[in-house]
Amino acid sequence: MSAPTVLVVDDHQLFRAGVKAELDGLVEVVGDAGSVEDAVPAILAREPDVVLLDVQMPGGGGVEVIRQVLRSRPAQRFLALSVSDAAEDVIAIIRAGARGYVTKTISTPELADAVRRVADGDAVFSPRLAGFVLDAFAGSLPAQVDPELDQLTTREREVLRHIARGYMYKEIALRLGISAKTVEAHVSAVLRKLQLSNRHELSRWAVERRLVE
Amino acid sequence: MTGVSVQRAQPALRREPEGAVIGGVCAGLARRFGIPPLFFRIAFLAASVGGLGIGLYALAWLLMPGEGARGRLALRLPGGRASWQVAAGMALLVGAVLLLFRQWGIWIGDALVWPVVLAAVGAALIWRQSSPAPGHRGPAAIRLPPDALGRIALGAALVVGGGLVFLYLNDALAPARDVILAMVVILVALSLILAPFWLRLGRHLAEERGERIRSQERADIAAHLHDSVLQTLALMQKRADDPRAVAGLARRQERELRAWLSGGRPPGSEATLAAALEAAAAEVEADHGVPVDVVAVGDAPLDTGAEALVAAAREALVNAAKFAGGPISVYAEATPGHLQVFVRDRGPGFDPDAVPDDRRGLRESIVGRMARHGGRATVHTGAGAGTEIELTLEAR
C-alpha cells in the first residue's frame, strides 16, 4: 500500500514545519495551511487521505474547518491534534466529525501509525480521549434513551479501559482474546456513538461549543 | 461529572431607545420584567389621568440610564436641531401640564412653582452637558467646547435667575434678615451647577482605578511567565546537548503552566484522588525524568484508603521509572464504593518471585499497604510485555 497523503492544518508555523519534517518518509505530506480560511480550499483542492487538524485556531478552530469541508466533501477524514486537555474541546471536535484525537506530544512512529489507521477508516483514540469517553458515558441514564446510541456495551467499555491504561490495539486483542480487527470495530462503534449520542453530558458539551442550536 | 446550570442574569433596568414611543421607559421596563411594553404603556396612561403618571414617567426617564449610556442623571437627547425640537416639545408639554394642575387647584403657589421650573430647566441644561462623549479622558475632558460653555452659562443664568425670582416673589431680596435664606438658595444653586463636575471627576477616578487593576494583572502575568516559562526556556538552551533533560524540563513546565492556566490549586492541597495521583505523577516525572501520563475517570475524596492507594501507586510509579523507563501510563477509575488504579510501563518486565527479599518496594509498600487497607494489588508482567500493577480498593 502506498503511503497515505496528509495535509497539515495548524496556526503555528513552527509546529507545521516540525510535523512535516517528522513525518517525511513515513507518509506523504501534500500541503499545509495556517488558518481556517486557507485550510478549506487547500483541502478541497488537494484531497488528502487525512487532514492533521489543530483543534484551537483563530476563526472557529478545527471544528469550523471540519464543518465547511464536510459540506462539499463528506468523506474527508480528519485526525485532531492538540495541546488541549479540555474535555469539551476534544469531545467537540470528535462530534464535529474527526476520526480520532491525539496530543501533540505523541511520538513520531505513533503519529504516523495513527495517520495510517485514520486513512484506512479506523478510529484513533488516545488514552486521554478514551478516559473522556468513559467519563461521558458513565453514570445513570435519563429515562428515554436509545441504548443503541447512548450506552456502551461491556466489550466496548473493556476496550476503552485498556486504551486508557496505555495498551495498543494489538495488545488489547491479545489480552481479550479477540482479533485486532474486532478491537478496531469496537473503537469505530464507540466513535459512532460519540458522534450520534444524545447523552446529557455530550449534548451539554456540544451546546457549549455551539455545535447544535 | 456535575451538571452546571447557568443562570441567566436578568437584564439591567435601562431605557430602550430602540422600542421607544416617547423616552423608552416602558420598553425598558418591559425588557427588565419580560412583559410586553403595552401593559406598562396602558398603566402609565391610566395613571396620567390624575397627572401622577406624567410625573412618574418624567422621573423614570431621568433616573433610568439610557441603553449603553454612562450617566443615569443625564437626559441624553439626540444632538443637533432635533435636540432643540425635542427640548421645545418637552418644555411645552411640561408647561401645559403645570397649567392644567394650576387650573385644577393642585397648586402650591406661583411664587414657588415658576422659579423652581426655571431653575430646573437651567439645571437640566447643565446636567445634560456633564455627560461627555466617550473617548474623553483625564483633565482634557474638563475643557469644554465653546457651544457647550454657552449652554452652561445659559443654564447657570436660568438657575440663578430662578433663585432670584423666588427671592423677589417672596419679598426676600430687600430685607436684610433674609440674607440666610438667600445664602441657602445660592448654595443650592451652586451645588446644582457644580455637582455634575464632581460626579464626572468621580467617574474618571473609577476609570483610572480600573485601568490600574488591569495593568496590575498584566504585570502579574508577565512576572509569572518570567519566573516560569522564560527561566525554563533559558535552562533548555543551556542543556540543549542533553535531550532527556530538555524533555524533562519541557514536561515539567507544561504541567506547571497547565495547572496555572486552569486556575491553579497551590501544590499540597490535593483533596481528591485524581488530583493526588496527578501530583504524585508530576513528582516522579521530575525526579526520574520519565514521562508519566495520568488518565482519570470519575473522582473520589481523598480519605485514608484513597491516600494509601495513591501512596502505593506512587511506589509503583517509582519502580516503573527506575527499572523500565518511560513512558508510564496511569489510569484511575473511581465509581461509588470502588477505586481502581493501573500503573503500566513498557519495560522488559520481571518475575515477581525472583525479586530478592530485601527489596521491600513491591512486597511492603505496594502489596502490604493495599492489604492493610482492605484492598489488593495484582502484578501483571511477563518477559518483554511490560509490567502493569493493578491496585483495587473496595469501600467497606
Phi, psi of B33 (to 5 degrees): -105, 0
Cβ separation of A127 and B331 shorter than 8 Å? yes
Query: Quick one: pLDDT at residue A5?
Result: 92
Contact A164/B at CB under 8 A: yes
Residues on chain A touching B331 (C-beta within 8 angstroms): 127, 131, 161, 164-166
Yes or no: say if B265 and B275 are a contact pair by the CB < 8 Å rule.
yes
Query: Quick one: pLDDT at residue B77?
Result: 45
Average pLDDT over residues B93-119: 80
Assessment of whether the complete model's pTM goes beyond 0.95 = no
Residues on chain A touching B4 (C-beta within 8 angstroms): 204
Residue B2 clears pLDDT 50, i.e. is over it: no
Weakest mean pLDDT among A68-72, B220-224, B265-269: B265-269
Nearest alpha carbon to residue A110 among B313, B293, B343: B293
Average pLDDT over residues B297-313: 87
Pairing of strands A28-33, A5-9: parallel
Average pLDDT over residues B273-279: 88
- For the stretch B352-365, pLDDT in tens is 666 665 566 777 78
Closest-CA distance of chain B to residue A127, Å: 7
Cβ separation of B331 and A131 shorter than 8 Å? yes
- Best residue in B2, B290, B331 for a mutation probing chain A (most A CBs within 10 Å): B331
> Where exactly are the structural domains of chain A?
5-208
Cβ separation of B344 and A165 shorter than 8 Å? yes
Taking any CB pair shorter than 8 Å as contact, residues of chain B touching chain A are 1, 3-4, 258, 291, 293, 295-298, 327-329, 331, 333, 335, 342, 344, 346, 388
CA-based R_g, chain B, Å = 38
The CATH class of A5-208 is alpha beta
Residue B25 clears pLDDT 70, i.e. is over it: yes
- For the stretch A72-109, pLDDT in tens is 888 899 999 887 767 778 888 888 889 989 888 788 88
Residues on chain B touching A141 (C-beta within 8 angstroms): none
Give me the residue label for grid cell 474541546.
A89
- Quote the CA–CA distance of B312 and B83 in Å, as a whole number: 78
Contact A104/B at CB under 8 A: no
Residues on chain B touching A128 (C-beta within 8 angstroms): 293, 295
Query: Quick one: pLDDT at residue B341?
Result: 94
By Cβ distance, the residue of B298, B328, B346 closest to A138 is: B298
Residue B187 clears pLDDT 80, i.e. is over it: yes
Residues on chain A touching B342 (C-beta within 8 angstroms): 165
Q: How many angstroms separate the most distant Cα atoms in chain B?
A: 118
Average model confidence (pLDDT) across chain A: 83
Q: Given pLDDT bands bounded at 50, 70 and 90, which one contains residue B145?
A: low
Cβ separation of B1 and A138 shorter than 8 Å? yes
- Quote the CA–CA distance of B277 and B12 in Å, as a whole number: 45
By Cβ distance, the residue of B4, B258, B342 closest to A165 is: B342
Residue B169 clears pLDDT 90, i.e. is over it: no
Residue B167 clears pLDDT 60, i.e. is over it: yes
Identify the closest residue of chain B to A84 by CA–CA distance.
B258
Residue B73 clears pLDDT 80, i.e. is over it: no
Beta bridge partners of A101: A80, A125
- For the stretch A23-79, pLDDT in tens is 888 888 898 888 888 889 999 988 899 999 988 888 888 888 999 899 888 889 999
By Cβ distance, the residue of A127, A134, A204 closest to B293 is: A127
Query: Quick one: pLDDT at residue B3?
Result: 40
Closest-CA distance of chain A to residue B255, Å: 11
Give me the residue label for grid cell 540543549.
B240
Contact A160/B at CB under 8 A: no
Nearest alpha carbon to residue A127 among A87, A82, A162: A162
Query: Quick one: pLDDT at residue A149?
Result: 67
Residue B43 clears pLDDT 90, i.e. is over it: no
- Best residue in A167, A201, A207 for a mutation probing chain B (most B CBs within 10 Å): A167
CA A1 distance to own-chain centroid: 23
- Quote the CA–CA distance of A81 and A102 in Å, as a whole number: 5
Cβ separation of A165 and B331 shorter than 8 Å? yes
Cβ separation of B293 and A128 shorter than 8 Å? yes
Identify the closest residue of chain A to B328 by CA–CA distance.
A166
Phi, psi of B382 (to 5 degrees): -175, 155
Query: Quick one: pLDDT at residue B53?
Result: 66
Cβ separation of B293 and A166 shorter than 8 Å? yes
| Residue B78 vs residue A50, higher pLDDT | A50
Residue B178 clears pLDDT 70, i.e. is over it: no
Q: Which of helix, strand or coil describes residue A103? A: strand
Identify the structural domains of chain B with CATH numbers, from first to last. Answer: 272-394 (3.30.565.10)
Average pLDDT over residues B127-146: 50
Query: Quick one: pLDDT at residue B134?
Result: 45
| Residue A213 vs residue A167, higher pLDDT | A167
Query: Quick one: pLDDT at residue B5?
Result: 42
| Residue B326 vs residue B7, higher pLDDT | B326
Size of interface A-B (CB pairs under 8 A): 46
Residues on chain A touching B278 (C-beta within 8 angstroms): none
- For the stretch A110-127, pLDDT in tens is 899 999 989 988 888 888
Residues on chain B touching A164 (C-beta within 8 angstroms): 295, 297, 331
Q: Given pLDDT bands bounded at 50, 70 and 90, which one contains residue B196?
A: confident
CA A58 distance to own-chain centroid: 20
Q: Given pLDDT bands bounded at 50, 70 and 90, which one contains residue B132?
A: very low
Closest-CA distance of chain A to residue B311, Å: 19
- Quote the CA–CA distance of B222 and B132 in Å, as a whole number: 35
Contact A127/B at CB under 8 A: yes
By Cβ distance, the residue of B4, B297, B342 closest to A135 is: B297
Cβ separation of B329 and A139 shorter than 8 Å? no
Average model confidence (pLDDT) across chain B: 76
Residue B259 clears pLDDT 80, i.e. is over it: no
Contact A165/B at CB under 8 A: yes
- For the stretch A188-213, pLDDT in tens is 888 888 888 766 666 665 555 444 43
By Cβ distance, the residue of A105, A164, A200 closest to B295 is: A164
Residue B175 clears pLDDT 70, i.e. is over it: no
- B160's enclosing H/E stretch is helix B146-169
Beta bridge partners of B306: none
| Residue B294 vs residue A140, higher pLDDT | B294
Residues on chain B touching A166 (C-beta within 8 angstroms): 293, 327-329, 331, 344, 346
Cβ separation of B295 and A85 shorter than 8 Å? no
Residues on chain B touching A127 (C-beta within 8 angstroms): 293, 295, 329, 331
Query: Quick one: pLDDT at residue A178?
Result: 92
- Quote the CA–CA distance of B158 and A145 in Å, as a whole number: 74
Residue B158 clears pLDDT 90, i.e. is over it: no
Most confident of the ranges A187-191, B17-21, B132-136, B148-152: A187-191
| Residue B145 vs residue B329, higher pLDDT | B329
Query: Quick one: pLDDT at residue B74?
Result: 41
By Cβ distance, the residue of A127, A139, A161 closest to B1 is: A139
Beta strands in chain B (DSSP E): 292-297, 328-335, 338-345, 375-381, 387-394
DSSP string, B37-79: HHHHHHHHHHHHTTTHHHHHHHHHHHHSPPTT-S-SS-----S
Query: Quick one: pLDDT at residue B342?
Result: 94
Query: Quick one: pLDDT at residue A110?
Result: 86
